[in-house]
Structures are given as C-alpha cells and as structure tokens.
C-alpha cells in the first residue's frame, strides 16, 4: 500500500483500540463492518433487529489494529420486552468498552432518536466521530453541505466523515483517520483472528439472515435460531438447527406451503455457511414453537445475547 501523510506520521509506533459503531437501526453499521473486513461477518437485511448481538470484527492495518464493535440499532422501547432491553444493553455496553465511538447516521436524516443517542454517547465522555452514511442516495450532492453544517454544531465531534458503506466511498480514509485517534500500541488481538465469536454462533446468524430477508410483517422478529448439533470435519460441516417462533401461525408461515419457504431458507443459509467455512455444509432445520421466548431471560442467554466473556 502506498504511504499517505497519515501513514508517515504514525508509522513509528503502531496504534490500535476498540471502536463502537453506534446508531439507530438500519443506518448501515453491519454493512460498514463487512466492507472494512473485506468479507461477510455480520448479517444484513433492510429490517430493524437484524443485528441482535454485539459483534467484534478485527481489522489489521499497516499502522495498527482496529477492533470494531458492531451493535444492534438503539431504539426507543415502547414495549419493554426482554429482547428489546437486551438489544439496547448490547449497544450501551459496547459504548462503555470502546476507545472511540463511531456515531453513524443516514445522510439527510436527523431526528429525536439521533438526539437521544448523541446524548448517551456524550455522557460516556469518549471521542466521537460522526459518520454520515448513504451519501450515494442523496438526489443532489450539494444537499449534503447544509446538513453537515447543521449537525456539526450539535457536538464537538473529533471528525465528521461522509461515507457510503455500500459503495465503499471514503471508507479507506475513514480507517486511517480512526487510527490517528486511537492509543499507541493499544491493540492486542492476534493478527490472524477475525472475531471473538464462535463459528457455531456465526452459523446460527447466517441461518437467521434469510429469514429476515425473505419474510415480511412480524415473523422475522419472532424467529430465533439455536444450534443443536455442530460437527466440523475436514471436508464438511454438519449442522442441525432449530428455528423458534412464538405462535403456531408463525410456524406455518415460516414453513410455507409444502415446506417451500423452509427449503428456500435452507438453501440460502447453506450457501452463506459454505462461504464462511470454505467447505461443504450439511444443514438440517426444524421449526418449533416456544411462546414468549422474547421475554424469557434464560432463553435469551442461550442465544448469546450478551457479549462473550
């Protein structure tokens, strides 16, 4: 990689640390994580609650290491369900452990939710970089400048960065500027480590992704995935998993006529998993009803709703 001015400036000592990606649902946090990693780690879909966990992705750079913490979208809880509380706790805990906060918003969109999130971030007292995502969706590029002026006055951000996580615009520069705000010699992860989550956990997420993408209405939010059997072989990963729903009607929708929906979900999930593990996958799926699982703390613990210890 050709050196930039920043690379020259901090090449004498490696920098590193943890960065929490914070924002409302569907602003592109997981898309940005995958873009910077150069591979798919976080599942994505155009629905809230797609990200349910704090997910670490480790990025090595010529001048340092960044441990990115992808988080569930912070949302106002009108119904204090245990799952919703767990999602917000995951995001708040990432704030507390990070050296730097990336506060991501969608270009041209700022409302009460952003004000609440910014207030919470400011209380943590850590430096905040404001990321303006989805600049590629603006009808006119000149519309960005008045928006930047307006929100730039809301806080003393260390930097304000317009990006497109989907298209990759400005993300390489974002990583370099981020390293300049992190401590010297602050990273400690092995260079070949991608995340702190298990392969078993990631496979459960890759099974849940096609559910989020293929089904509408309330069903995707009522689905949880547990891995019942997981065995790695030299040329094959053997997985048995259960998709949990809360009501019988949701089970019928998830299975589909003659099992058609489950077959489509299984095909896409298997492809995702094979791409992740770089070998063939044998996948068996079942659907079961567990009323009220979203309010069951013991079941949520089973889903690894908290960060790894």
> Domain 5-180 maps to which CATH number in 3.30.1300.10, 2.40.50.140, 3.40.50.300, 3.20.20.370?
3.40.50.300
Name the least confident of 3-7, 36-40, 119-123.
3-7
pTM for this prediction: 0.88
User: Is residue 290 helix, strand or coil?
Assistant: coil
Helix (H, G, I), strand (E, B) or coil at 15: strand
- Considering the chain, what is the average pLDDT of its residues? 88
The tally of CA atoms less than 13 A away on the side-chain side of residue 263 is 5
272-307 confidence digits (pLDDT tens): 999 999 999 999 999 999 999 999 988 988 887 654
Number of helices and strands (H, E) in the chain? 10, 9
- Is domain 199-302 given the CATH code 3.30.300.20 in the classification? yes
| Range(s) of the chain covered by CATH 3.30.300.20 | 199-302
pLDDT at 77 (0 to 100): 55
Q: How do residues 259-270 score in pLDDT, each as one tens digit?
A: 999 999 999 999
Q: Assign 2 a pLDDT band (cuts: 50, 70, 90).
A: very low
Where is pLDDT greater, at 196 or 140? 196
Per cent of the chain over pLDDT 70 is: 92
């Amino acid at each position: 990689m050709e050196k930039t001015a920043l690379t020259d400036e901090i090449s004498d000592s490696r920098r590193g640390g943890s960065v929490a990606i914070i924002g409302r649902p569907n602003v592109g946090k997981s898309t940005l994580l995958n873009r910077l990693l150069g591979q798919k780690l976080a599942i994505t879909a155009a629905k809230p609650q797609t990200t349910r966990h704090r997910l670490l992705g480790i990025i090595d750079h010529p001048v340092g290491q960044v441990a990115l913490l992808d988080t569930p979208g912070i949302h106002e809880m009108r119904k204090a369900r245990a799952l919703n509380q767990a999602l917000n706790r995951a995001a708040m805990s990432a704030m507390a452990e990070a050296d730097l906060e990336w506060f991501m918003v969608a270009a041209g969109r700022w409302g009460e939710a952003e004000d609440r999130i910014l207030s919470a971030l400011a209380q943590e007292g850590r430096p905040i970089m404001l990321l303006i995502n989805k600049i590629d969706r603006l009808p006119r590029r000149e519309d960005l400048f008045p928006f930047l002026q307006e929100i730039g006055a809301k806080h003393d951000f260390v930097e304000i960065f317009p990006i497109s996580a989907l298209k990759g615009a400005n993300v390489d520069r974002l990583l370099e500027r981020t390293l300049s705000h992190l401590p010297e010699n602050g990273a400690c992860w092995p260079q070949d480590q991608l995340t702190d989550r298990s392969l078993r956990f990631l496979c459960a997420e890759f099974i849940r992704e096609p559910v989020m993408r293929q089904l509408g209405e309330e069903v995707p939010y009522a689905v949880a995935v547990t891995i019942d059997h997981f065995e790695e072989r030299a040329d094959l990963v053997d997985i048995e998993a259960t998709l949990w729903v809360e009501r019988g009607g949701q089970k019928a929708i998830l299975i589909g006529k003659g099992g058609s929906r489950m077959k489509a979900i299984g095909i896409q999930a298997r492809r995702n998993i094979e791409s992740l593990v770089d070998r063939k996958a044998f996948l068996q799926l079942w659907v079961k009803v567990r009323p009220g699982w979203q309010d069951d703390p013991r079941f949520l613990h089973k889903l690894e709703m908290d960060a790894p210890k």
